[in-house]
Amino acid sequence: MSEASLGTGAPADMIAPAPPSAWRRVRTPANIVIAISAGLIVVIFAIFAVLCVQGYASTLEQARLKAQSAADVVAEEAEWMLGGSKALLMHLATVATVPADVTDTDRANIDTALKALPVATSFGLYDATGAAFGGAGAAGLPASIGELEVFKALAAGMDFAISRQIEDAATGAPLFVLAKRLTAPEGFGGAAVITISGTVMQELWTPQQLGAGSTVGLLLPDGWLIARYPAASQAANSSQQPLFTTLAGQNAGTYYSPRSPVDGVARMVGFRRLPGLGVIAIASVSEDAALAGLWSAIVTVLWLMCPIAIALFIGSLVTASILRKSARTQANLAAALAHNETLFREIHHRVKNNLQSVSSLLQMQPIPREIKADMGQRIAAMSAVHEHIYRSTNFDTVRVQNYLTTLIENIRAGSSPSVRVVEDIEDLEVDKDAATPLGLIINEVVANAFKHAFPQGREGTIRVSLVRLADGRAELAVADDGIGFDPAQPGKGIGRRLIRALTSQLGGESEFTSEPGLGSRFVLVFPLAK
C-alpha cells in the first residue's frame, strides 16, 4: 500500500504525542507520595485534636464535680460551727435582756461550748452604746463596737446578724462576728457577740486536697465575703458573679468564674446555701491547676508526635526528590514564579469567598441577631482585605484609603441614617499583615459608635481620621458627639478585649476617652512598618 492511501495527514512517525492531561500530571508518583504522607499527618493530628477537646471537657467536668463536693463539705462544717454559735447566742437571749443579766455561770458555759469548735473563738457582751460590758469584750474587737455594721444592724432592729470579714483590732488578721440583739424594757439593750477567726477556713480547706490555686469561703447573701482561705487582704464583694445573678434562685450548684473578685484567678466554683443562716459556702478549683495535667500530657504527646510527623514528611520529600530526576530550567523557574503569583491571588480570592460562605452560614445559625450582626461585620472586615489584595499588584503592602472607606461605608449602610460620617483618611501604605487588625479595630469602634452613641434615632456625627505622624507612625482617631460612656466601667462584650489584642498585634497603643453626655474618642497610634 502506498503512502498516499493513508490520506493527507502527516506520517505516523511525525505525529507528536498528546500532552498528558492535568489529572495525569497531578497523579505523578512524587505527588502521590507527598499526598499520602500529608494525609497521614493530617489524620494523626486531627485525631489528636479530637482527643484533646474530649480531655479538656472531661477535665473541666471533673473540676466541677470536685468543687461541688468540696462546697458540700464546707457547708456541713460551717453549718455545724455557725449553727452551734447561733444557738448559744439565742439561748443566752432567753435568759438575759441586757449584759448585766448574764451570770458568770452563763459565761463559763458558753466558753466551754466554744472550745469544742475547731477554731479560735471568743465571746463578749456589749451595752446599748457598743461598749464592752465589764471592760472585757470579744477577742479581736475594739473596746467599743458601736461603729461596726453588724452592731448598727442590731440597733436598728435586726435580731441576729453575721458580719462581713473584718480585721482583728490588734493583729490585723481576718475574723468575722456573730451577734445577737439583747432587748431591754426600754428598747435596745446591747449585743451578745462571738468572734470567729478567719483561720477556720484553712481548717476546712486542708482536708479537701483541691490543689494549688483552690479556695474555700463563706459569703453573705448580698455577696460580701465573710471568710476565705487563702485569706483575702480585705472583704470583697461577689455580687456580680453568676451565683448572685443567673443562679440566685438555686440552693446549690456550680459555675465558672473567669475572674475572681479577690485575686482575678479563673476558677470552677461550687456553692451551697446554709438554711436558716443566710450564709453561702463556696469551694473552687483553679482552672490552671485543673488543666495542668492535661497540658502536660498534651505537650508530652506532641514531643513524640512532632518528630514522627517531621520524619514522615521529610521522608516523603526525599522520596519525591528521588522520583524527580529532571532538572529545573530557568524557563521553568520563570513559569513557576508566574504560577505562584496567580496562585497567591487565587488564595486571597478563595479566602474572601470562604469568609463570605462563613458569613452566610452564620446567618442561618439560631443565635441572637445582634451577635450575628457583630460577627458578620468582623468577617466582612477581614474579607475586604483579601479582596483588596486580590485586585492589587503589590502583595506586600496595602493602600488603606479605599479599603477603609469601603469598610466604613459597609458599616454605615446597615446603621442609622440619622448619623453621618466624616472621613479624613490619608492614602497610607501599611504592611499586609497590619491591614486586617486595622480594619477590625475600625469595624469595632465605628460599629459600636453607631450602636451605642446615638440611641433612639438620635442625630449625630462620627469622625474618622488616619494621618501619618512625623516619627514613622500613624494615628487613627474615631470620635463621636453621642451620649458618651464611662471608660472605667468594664465592657459587656468582647469588643474592648478584641481591640486590646489587635492593638498589641499592631505593636501600637490605644486609648478610649469619654464622659457621659459629651461624646467619646478613640485614638490608636501604631508603626507603619515592621
For residue 358, name the pLDDT band (cuts at 50, 70, 90): low
Kind of pairing between the strands at 252-257 and 225-229: unpaired
CA–CA distance from 337 to each of 332, 333, 432 (Å)? Answer: 8, 6, 20
Percentage of the residues of the chain whose pLDDT score is greater than 90 = 12
pLDDT tens figures, 248-303: 888 889 988 888 877 788 888 999 998 888 899 988 888 887 787 778 788 888 88
Asked if 156 and 226 count as a contact pair (C-beta separation under 8 A), the reply is no
pLDDT tens figures, 122-155: 888 898 899 888 767 888 898 889 899 999 999 9
Q: Provide CB contacts within 8 A for 348, sequence distance 6+.
A: 386, 387, 389, 390
Backbone angles phi, psi at 408, to 5 degrees: -65, -40
For residue 393, name the pLDDT band (cuts at 50, 70, 90): low
Q: Provide CB contacts within 8 A for 101, sequence distance 6+.
A: 95
Q: What is the mean pLDDT of residues 216-235?
A: 84
* Spatial separation of the C-alpha atoms in residues 62 and 68, rounded to whole Å: 10
Kind of pairing between the strands at 419-425 and 460-468: parallel
* Spatial separation of the C-alpha atoms in residues 91 and 72, rounded to whole Å: 28
pLDDT of residue 522: 92
pLDDT at 415 exceeding the cut of 80:
no
What pTM was computed for the model? Answer: 0.50
* Spatial separation of the C-alpha atoms in residues 410 and 255, rounded to whole Å: 39
pLDDT tens figures, 83-108: 888 888 888 777 777 887 787 787 88
pLDDT at 506 exceeding the cut of 50:
yes
pLDDT tens figures, 56-66: 888 888 888 88
User: Which superfamily is assigned to 25-321 in CATH?
Assistant: PAS domain (3.30.450.20)
pLDDT tens figures, 11-21: 444 444 445 55
pLDDT of residue 394: 59
* Spatial separation of the C-alpha atoms in residues 371 and 362, rounded to whole Å: 10
* Spatial separation of the C-alpha atoms in residues 446 and 455, rounded to whole Å: 14
pLDDT of residue 135: 61
Q: How many CB atoms lie within 10 A of CB 131?
A: 18
Cell digits for 70?
Answer: 468540696
Report helix angle 432-448 to 400-413, nearest 10: 30
pLDDT at 449 exceeding the cut of 60:
yes
* Lowest mean pLDDT, pick from 175-184, 201-210, 505-514: 201-210
Strand-pair partners of 194: 123, 178
Q: CATH 3.30.450.20 in the chain, residues? A: 25-321
Kind of pairing between the strands at 215-219 and 225-229: antiparallel
Q: CATH 3.30.565.10 in the chain, residues? A: 329-527
More confidently predicted of 360 and 348: 360
The CATH architecture one would assign to domain 329-527 is 2-Layer Sandwich (3.30)
Strand-pair partners of 11: none
Residue the block writes with cell 482575678: 264
Asked if 99 and 125 count as a contact pair (C-beta separation under 8 A), the reply is yes
CA–CA distance from 530 to each of 293, 401, 434, 476, 526 (Å)? Answer: 38, 20, 9, 17, 10
What one-character-per-residue DSSP string does 338-364 give?
A: HHHHHHHHHHHHHHHHHHHHHHHHHHT
pLDDT of residue 352: 45
